[in-house]
Amino acid sequence: MSEAKNRYEAERWLATALKDIEAAQVLRREGIYSLACFHAQQAAEKAVKALWYLADAEPWGHSVQKLIGDLREVDEGLWKRNLP
């Protein structure tokens, strides 16, 4: 993917993550804890996937722990090129 496309995807995933965390906060305040937890997990997953796109890599899966662990294997040179 091009650098511009990667940045667009990263920003799109992060914006969606922020909406999920807002939903989680509302649900928590309303005492709907199971759905609050679900949206919090979704927010974490999407935020990590945004990092993957910044690193010019394609994320795969839904486990936040695995996504973070696998992200460590991404070439550090890609990070230096894409981070502001």
Report pLDDT digits (tens) over 67-83: 988 887 776 556 556 55
Question: pLDDT value at position 57?
Answer: 85
CB neighbour class for 49 (10 Å; exposed up to 12, middle 13-18, buried from 19): buried
Domains in the chain: how many in total?
A: 1
Report pLDDT digits (tens) over 10-64: 999 999 999 999 999 999 999 999 999 999 999 999 999 999 998 888 888 899 9
Report pLDDT digits (tens) over 37-50: 999 999 999 999 99
Question: pLDDT value at position 43?
Answer: 97
Q: Is the dihedral of CA 31, 19, 61, 54 positive or negative?
A: negative
The domain spanning residue 61 has which CATH number? Answer: 1.20.120.330
Range of the domain at 59: 3-82
